Amino acid sequence: MSQTLKQTPSQTVGPYFAYAWTPELYGRRPLAANRLVTRDMAGEHIRIEGVVYDGQGAPIRDCVVEIWQAGADGRHAPGAAGFGRCGTDDAGHYFFDTVKPGACDPGHAPHIAVTVFARGMLSHAFTRLHFSDETAANEADPVLASVPADRRDTLIATRAETPGGVVYRFDIRIQGDGETVFFDC
């Protein structure tokens, strides 16, 4: 297929997206939320949470994290947990209540696709979240294998059992020490 047109360039979301993207505070209906799970949804119900940091380790409060995932059966199906969107708060914190996805690509470990937008990011960044309790699957995962070994842990969310349920911690460091691996795909 010949490519006759040029891609429209990306631009930053700027600082003032919240009333459009996460408009509950403004009394409006959101397109998508950070609670993907419903009470009866099959699979392990989990929370994913973390802080987004800039190159000096300061939390970024005008950032949006979007996720796209399969359901517990590894399928992207209508009615399953799928797309989520969460703006960071004043402490740079975000979270999603969802189900732990099953593996959806043969040979790949279970994972969630993640996109990061922020003021100061002219183009968005893609990463992916893996699960710390999937040790064997992670070791066999071709994408993790393509990442330098000393950076792999930036892609692995750490599981903790808390009184409120299972929480996976996934901090995102846009730049600098412990910089999250971002992908071109």
Partner 1 sequence: MDTAVQEAEGDFTPRDWAQHPPYLSPLYKSTVLRSPSKPLIPMKQGLSVRTGPVFGHDSLDPLDHDLTKNGRVNGEPIGERMIVTGRVLDESGRPVPHTLLEIWQANACGRYVHRWDQHDAPLDPNFFGAGRCLTDAEGRYRFTTIKPGAYPWGNHHNAWRPAHIHFSLFGPSFLTRLVTQMYFPGDPLLPLDPIYNGVPEGARELLVSRFSIDVTEPVWALGYEFDIVLRGRHATPMEG
List of residues contacting Fe ion (CB under 5 A): 14
Structure token pair of residue 149: 């070994």
115 binds, options Fe ion, partner 1, none, Cβ within 5 to 8 A by partner type: partner 1
Q: Name which of 14 and 120 has its Cβ closer to Fe ion.
A: 14
State in angstroms the smallest separation of the CB of 160 from partner 1: 24
Q: Which of residues 7-66 bind partner 1 (CB under 8 A)?
A: 7-21, 23, 25-26, 28-29, 31-33, 54-56, 58, 60, 66
Structure token pair of residue 153: 């842990």
Binding partner 1 (rule: CB under 8 A), the pick from 41, 104, 166, 167 is 104
C-alpha closest to that of 124 among 134, 132, 133, 114 = 114
Q: How far is CA 102 from the centre of its chain?
A: 16
Q: Name which of 145 and 160 has its Cβ closer to partner 1.
A: 145
Q: Name which of 23 and 160 has its Cβ closer to partner 1.
A: 23
Report long-range pairs for 165-168 (Cβ below 8 Å, ≥24 apart).
Answer: 165/45, 165/46, 165/47, 166/44, 166/45, 166/46, 166/47, 166/100, 167/46, 167/47, 167/48, 167/49, 168/46, 168/47, 168/48, 168/49, 168/129, 168/131, 168/132
83 binds, options partner 1, Fe ion, none, Cβ within 5 to 8 A by partner type: partner 1
Minimal CB distance residue for Fe ion: 14
Structure token pair of residue 144: 């993790």
Q: Which of residues 110-169 bind partner 1 (CB under 8 A)?
A: 111-113, 115, 117-126, 128, 142-143, 146-147, 151
State in angstroms the smallest separation of the CB of 16 from Fe ion: 6
